[in-house]
Amino acid sequence: MNKINTLFANRGDKKFLSLYFCAGCPTLESIGDVILTMQRRGIDFIEVGIPFSDPLADGPVIQSAATQALKNGMTVQLIFDQLKSIKDEVTIPLILMGYLNPILHYGIEAFCQSCVESGVSGAIIPDLPFDDYLNIVKPVADKYDLRIIMLITPETSDDRIRFIDDHTDGFIYMVSSASITGTQKSFDEQKQEYFRRIDAMHLRNPRMIGFGISNQQTLKAAQDNAAGAIIGSKFVTLLNESKNADEALDRLFDALAQ
């Protein structure tokens, strides 16, 4: 069974914490160390960002990390090479998160095959049109038992959400707002109502909430209304500042306790 499905099938009442970092930042060779450190420190699954020159959905923190990674020389092929080198040590699910252009350049089938060969269980492609997912990407991903995770926002209609739920597997990524990535001090009542609305739909797939989680209040709101939380910008900032995954995690856990 795919590692993502296994993780969620066995979670019971556990609330998950997933972290995102950009491959190739802070250094070109840091992928293995960051992943294995996060695994050792109890992170449930990891999103590995594929750097891209025009990351439209990302805020300045992740844009800056992507720019640095590209300057460092990171490529899609190098990501797979580095992931393959630690494949036998990684027990938690890895998900690649990247925009469609680099994946199309690499080739859809080649990308899915390389994911399997390097221990990747799924992919998030924010700018992948759903029709293209259904007709082009999903048949290939299914062939390789790779989960393509789709995003929903507060503006996504109930009908669309149910359609996504019916045609995807793994989990649904609930974007907390329609804005770009970045930290927030709290989720306002409008966002809380969005969380409650989706919860009341009783979807087949579990949900993870991301965008804006950086402290105890936002973490609790996410974990109270979904299977767990995804943190990106906050961890990327701390990792870039410390250049050390253990220290960045120490500082993140301190922030999440406040």
User: Do 25 and 70 meet the contact criterion of CB atoms below 8 Å apart?
Assistant: no
Q: How confident is the model at residue 258 (pLDDT cuts 50, 70, 90)?
A: confident
2-57 pLDDT, tens digit per residue, is 999 999 999 999 999 999 999 999 999 999 999 999 999 999 999 999 999 876 66
Cis, peptide link before residue 26, omega less than 30° from 0: yes
Q: How confident is the model at residue 182 (pLDDT cuts 50, 70, 90)?
A: very low
Write the single-letter amino acid at 103.
I
Alpha helical stretches, state H, 144-188: 158-167
3-state SS class at 228: strand
* Cα distance between the two ends of the chain: 37
Q: Catalytic site residues?
A: 47, 58
Residue 206: is its pLDDT beyond 70?
A: yes
User: Do 128 and 97 meet the contact criterion of CB atoms below 8 Å apart?
Assistant: no
Q: Cα separation of 163 and 69, whole Å?
A: 36
Q: What is the mean pLDDT of residues 230-247?
A: 96
Q: How confident is the model at residue 186 (pLDDT cuts 50, 70, 90)?
A: low
Q: H/E element holding 7?
A: helix 3-9
- Strand segments, DSSP code E, in the chain are 16-22, 45-49, 94-97, 122-124, 147-149, 151-152, 172-175, 207-210, 228-231
